[in-house]
Amino acid sequence: MKALNQIKTKMQKLNSKSFFLIFRYLFLIFILSACDNRPEGILNQSKMTEVLIDLHKLDANLYEIGLQYGHYPDKVPYYQNILKKHGITEAKFDSSVVWYTKNPKKFDKIYDNVIATLTEQENDVKRGKYHFVDSLELAKVKDNIWNKKYQYTFSKDSTRTQLDFKISNSSFMYGDVYILHFIQRIAPEDSCKKQHVILQINYNNGKVDFATVEAHNDSLLRSYNIQLPAKKKLIIKSISGKILGSKKYKGKFNAYVDSISLIRKYNPTWQDSLRNVVEKANPTKQIKHLKSENRRRAILFKKVE
């Protein structure tokens, strides 16, 4: 009988303890929900974070295609697709933005998570985690247009003071990308000052695009890879440059250059359309064309008279 009473006492203590634990658990849930204080129809912090991350990534992409400022009517379909992806309406998103704006501490927490996620994704890209395949890039043809010697060796007895080049071709076009590659070693005995490499695009109207890289006379064999896009909507006269140039020359030229290539990267299917773009952007050519047309009409009219 005594043993039975002891068991009953233990059960009562256990039941009271279990009741206390359950009560505390329910109380915590009530407190947390009260702290959130989020009205019905407002996105929770997790969902709001996901939507804002996608919107910021979309803004970055729109900026890249030229829709940075203004152009709101053009942007609307893109924004609507983001909301559709997350299964929310524009009204619900707007209401959520308004509510979180009035609760800045919660909004700050959301944006801390947004920034952290975007930063981590950017770092993943830099580390090479993603390998984006650009179908337009795959369509481009790469031609080696270098038509000179592939190797040069200069000693103190060499008569040249620099290694320059110039390549002309009527097919060169706006939108091309030119890549100059070679390996080079310049000896300390080389007396040139401020050695450098230059790649240059020369246009018909005298304008140029160029890229330059510093060279060093320290006997180290270096690999150079200079890339230059033709951005101007003008007719290209030639591609030129200096594989070894200098600001000042004192009589000793001591260098070795090998494996020279000049790659032209372009999309052959775009050549005609790009040529039309260049012709429309070249008023001088249009004026000459109009003048010749007017002369032709005048001659015809005289013949008719």
CA-based angle 100:79:122, to the nearest 5?
80
Length of the chain: 305
Q: CA-CA distances (angstroms) from residue 209 to 199, 215, 236, 245, 291?
A: 8, 20, 10, 17, 31
> Could you tell me where in the chain the CATH 2.60.120 domains are found?
141-280
Is 212 in a helix, a strand, or coil? strand
What is the arithmetic mean of pLDDT over 35-60? Answer: 86
pTM (predicted TM-score): 0.50
**305's tokens:** 């008279």
Please list the residues that pair with 197 across neighbouring strands: 213
**Which pLDDT band holds residue 4 (cuts at 50, 70, 90)?**
very low
State residue 131's pLDDT score.
60
Residues above pLDDT 90, as percent of the chain? 31
What are the pLDDT digits (tens) for 100-154? 989 988 988 998 898 888 888 888 777 766 665 566 666 688 999 999 999 998 8
Q: What are phi and psi of 286, to 5 degrees?
A: -65, -40
| Range picked from 42-51, 73-82, 150-159, 272-281 for highest mean pLDDT | 42-51
Does pLDDT of 27 surpass 50?
A: no
Strands of 172-305, DSSP E: 177-186, 196-203, 208-214, 222-229, 236-245, 255-266
Contact call for residues 261 and 225 (beta carbons, < 8 A): no
pLDDT exceeds cutoff 90 at 299: no
Please give the C-alpha separations between residue 224 and each of 197, 198, 213, in angstroms, as whole numbers: 9, 11, 9
* Residue 50 reports pLDDT greater than 60: yes
Residue with the larger pLDDT of the pair 15 and 95: 95
Residue 127 corresponds to which amino acid?
Answer: R
Is 185:220 a contact under the CB 8 Å cutoff?
A: yes
* Per-residue confidence (pLDDT) for residue 34, from 0 to 100: 43
**What is the structure's pLDDT at 76?**
83
pLDDT of residue 202: 96
More confident residue, 256 or 288: 256
Helices and strands: H and E segment counts in the chain: 8, 9
The one-letter code for the residue type at 97 is V
Q: What is the mean pLDDT of the chain?
A: 78
Strands 163-167 and 196-203: unpaired
pLDDT surpasses 90 at 226:
yes
pLDDT band at 33 (very low <50, low <70, confident <90, very high): very low
Give one DSSP letter per residue of 139-188, joined into a string.
T-EEEE---S-S-EEE-TT---S-EEEEE--TT--TT-EEEEEEEEEE-T
With cut-offs at 50, 70 and 90, classify the pLDDT of residue 65. low
**304/2 Cα distance (integer angstroms):** 138
Q: Report the pLDDT averaged over residues 206-218.
A: 90
| pLDDT range class, residue 31, cuts 50, 70, 90 | very low
Q: Model confidence over 154-199: pLDDT tens digits?
A: 876 666 667 899 999 989 999 999 999 999 988 887 767 788 899 9
Fold of 141-280: Jelly Rolls (2.60.120)
Residue 279, number of CB atoms within 10 A of its CB: 13
Amino acid in position 73: P
Q: If pLDDT is split at 50, 70 and 90, which confidence band does 253 have? A: confident
Residue 186 β-bridge partners: 255
